[in-house]
Amino acid sequence: MTCRVVVLISGRGSNLRAIVEAGLPIEIAAVVSNRPQAAGLDYARARGIPAIALDHTSSPDRATFDTQLAGEIERFHPDLVVLAGYMRILSPAFIARFEGRLLNIHPSLLPMFPGLDTHTRALAEGVKVHGCTVHFVTDKLDHGPIIIQAAVPVRADDTPDTLAARVLAQEHRIYPLAIRWFAEGRLVNNHGRVNLKGDPTSQSVLANGG
């Protein structure tokens, strides 16, 4: 049975694009954005994927919006819900409803730099290695079980933008991979540590191809 995926976005949707173009054994059942102007919605529509805008600014509070969002998602009967640049904190009730089938990508090597402005903070700390993480979402923000990480070097002349671009290229590698593993039923959550079934493939990726 094909894994049905709903992707949540808020903006340009480059991760959405990487996922669509990876030729995964999945069906992207819908793309939902909390921002009607998100460029990723146009991309989805152009590909014939149902694209839904649910403007969070027209909801009185987060709980109301998230209930509406969950209802919209459920219409597509997803096996997996993927946060791909979805820039809103989700309510505990929403997370509980989808826990175990809810993934996020975060632009840092978690547990370092949860939250916003990760590239600026990484540069300010002087770290020499930075990266990105795909993880299961739990109610602790940016702290769920880690599926895969990719690391990139930090260069002396990096700006937040150059570093973000280097990390983003790796996001586009690891998110499709994590979704493939999920779709193939190969992710085993062992007390918060995620193991990959049936293959010695490493769950870490280095920018230079490691």
Q: Quick count: other Cβ atoms within 10 Å of Cβ 24?
A: 19
Site string for ligand GRF, 17-56 (x = CB under 6 A): ----------------------------------------
**Binding of ligand GRF at residue 66 (CB under 6 A)?**
no
Which part of the chain contacts ligand GRF (CB under 6 A), choosing from 12-20, 148-156, 176-184, 197-205?
12-20
Binding residues among 127-186 for ligand GRF as defined by CB under 6 A:
168, 171
Helix (H) or strand (E) holding 23: none
Binding residues among 93-122 for ligand GRF as defined by CB under 6 A:
105-107
Closer by beta carbon to ligand GRF, 9 or else 30 = 9
Q: How far apart are CB 89 and ligand GRF at their closest, in Å?
A: 12
Closer by beta carbon to ligand GRF, 66 or else 135 = 135
Assess whether 106 carries a catalytic annotation: yes
- Cα separation, 25 vs 11, in Å, equals 25
Residue from 7, 15, 131, 136 binding ligand GRF (CB under 6 A): 15
Q: How far apart are CB 11 and ligand GRF at their closest, in Å?
A: 4
Which part of the chain contacts ligand GRF (CB under 6 A), choosing from 9-17, 45-53, 89-97, 150-158?
9-17
- Cα separation, 193 vs 34, in Å, equals 31
3-state per-residue secondary structure call for 85-152: CCCCCCCHHHHHHHCCCEEEEECCCCCCCCCCCHHHHHHHHCCCEEEEEEEECCCCCCCCCEEEEEEE
Q: In the sheet where 204-206 sits, what is the strand order?
A: 51-53, 26-33, 3-9, 80-83, 102-106, 129-136, 146-153, 204-206
Tokens matching residue 66: 């998230």
Residue from 7, 13, 30, 90 binding ligand GRF (CB under 6 A): 13
**Binding of ligand GRF at residue 12 (CB under 6 A)?**
yes
Residue 146: strand pairing partners: 135
Q: How far apart are CB 124 and ligand GRF at their closest, in Å?
A: 18
Give the residue at shortest CB distance from ligand GRF.
85
Angle, CA 95 vertex, CA 94 and CA 99 arms, to 5°: 130
* Residue numbers at the binding site for ligand GRF (CB under 6 A): 9, 11-15, 84-85, 105-107, 168, 171
